[in-house]
Amino acid sequence: MAFDLVLSGATIIDPSQQKNGKGDVGIRNGKIVAVSDRIEAGASTTIDVSGKYLTPGWIDLHAHVYAGATTFGIKADALCLATGVTTIVDAGSPGWTNLRGFLEFIVEPSRTEVLTFVHISSIGLLNSMRGEMEDIKNADPERTARVISMWPRHCVGVKVRQGAFQVGSHGVEPLRRAVEAAEMADTRVMVHIDRGVALPDILELLRPGDVVTHCYQGKGDHILGDDDRVIPEVYEARERGVFFDLGHGAGSFHYGIAKRAVELGFLSDVISTDLHVYSLRSPVYSLPETASKLLNMGLDFEEIVRQTTSNPAGVLNRSDDIGTLKKGSVADIAVFDLEEGRFTFTDAHGRQESGPSMITPHLTVRAGQVYYPDDVRDEVAETERRAEEMVGITGVTYGAIRDIKKVR
């Protein structure tokens, strides 16, 4: 059997198949057709990745990529290909009124697989300086459910942000409407937690399969109680099937909360970036750098891979398509080095921690096509330039993180 591409000699880690060991991967026609200890058959191209780690392509479950139409949106395609991310999920930048534009101008031209949650706010996240649910009239469950049902290939759920800045005086009513829309469309809700809305009130409305994002955020109500232990409502939600996503972002990852939760054994289900124009340059940078923070807290690399591949695929009910190296699946692959040294990482409040390990992308395979970071360097630079341009227009003290810099 001839192959288009063989990646040889890496340590293969695929939690979806409980695989952790050295081997080769063979690709033909954009699909994975062989995973074995050694592939002897010829290939048009063979790349020696000995000494490196080969995993399914990573899935970033929370980002904002509606570039050019929202203040948050970043041109993420090249950045994904440079960092091992083969599927990226927008966390509610489009609402039902502007979803079509997202599909046409972001999804269709992208080399990366792009999926999206549809915001319960009809306008989505157009303007980071205004709360999208201050006017409850923006919440339209029927139309939100309808567009999700029209485009199920790319629409993976309903998004709602539940903080005082986003919802004004409406409490959990936006979440109630998001759940209503999700039930109509037979899908999941992703809820952003923040100060100003009690976390137990949010959690009691969530169903099996729903997602709490920003699980290690440190503003207002968070997952730790006054006794510095995870509150019972969080455990109760997890027991009934609610998922917890890291969602780092510019304001939603607190080292103190995260380290204490890990110490107590409460791990996130998914590691994601909440990548957008305000978080790109600092403190997020990329999914591998975000994951490196957890690696340096003591999570082993296999758990890191699980939280960036098979777990998010499972959240989306797409385990047969993404986050796996199963034969016949799309050839989405990431290859990394684990660098050893002394590295400094920053949380969303300016707190810095040092660690000895960094996950460094070596190459990405997306649908059988190989990309090295240098291949898309100029595109990544343009992404960074555009992000800085938007920050210059809106200022760094935009609404969603207006007072985060005071929390040190």
Catalogue all structural domains in the chain, each as residue range(s) with its CATH number. 3-55+330-336+354-381 (2.30.40.10), 58-315 (3.20.20.140)
User: In the block, which residue shows the tokens 């190989």?
Assistant: 370
Sequence-distant (6+) residues with CB within 8 A of 114 are 65, 87, 88, 89, 90, 106, 107, 154
Distances (CA, A) of 112 to 58, 63, 398: 11, 13, 29
User: In the block, which residue shows the tokens 């592939």?
Assistant: 39
- Helix 287-295 to helix 255-263 angle, to the nearest 10 degrees? 50
For the CA atoms of 54, 59, 64, 66, what is the dihedral angle to 10 degrees?
Answer: 90
pTM given for the model? 0.96
Predicted pLDDT at 399 = 41
- Helix 173-185 to helix 141-150 angle, to the nearest 10 degrees? 40
Predicted pLDDT at 147 = 99
Instruction: Please calculate the CA angle 338-62-73 and round it to the nearest 5 degrees.
Output: 110
Distance CA 239, CA 249 (A): 26
Joined tokens for residue 52: 């490196």
Distance CA 195, CA 219 (A): 5
Query: What is the mean pLDDT for each group of 10 consecutive residues in the chain (408 residues)?
Result: 94 98 98 97 96 99 98 97 99 98 99 99 90 91 99 99 88 97 99 96 99 96 96 99 98 98 99 97 95 99 99 98 98 99 96 98 99 98 96 68 35
Predicted pLDDT at 128 = 79
List, as one string, the DSSP characters of 86-141.
EEEEEES---TTTHHHHIIIIITT-SSEEEEEEESBTT-S--TTS-TTSSGGGB-H
Predicted pLDDT at 403 = 39
List, as one string, the DSSP characters of 15-31.
GGGTEEEEEEEEEETTE
Predicted pLDDT at 396 = 67
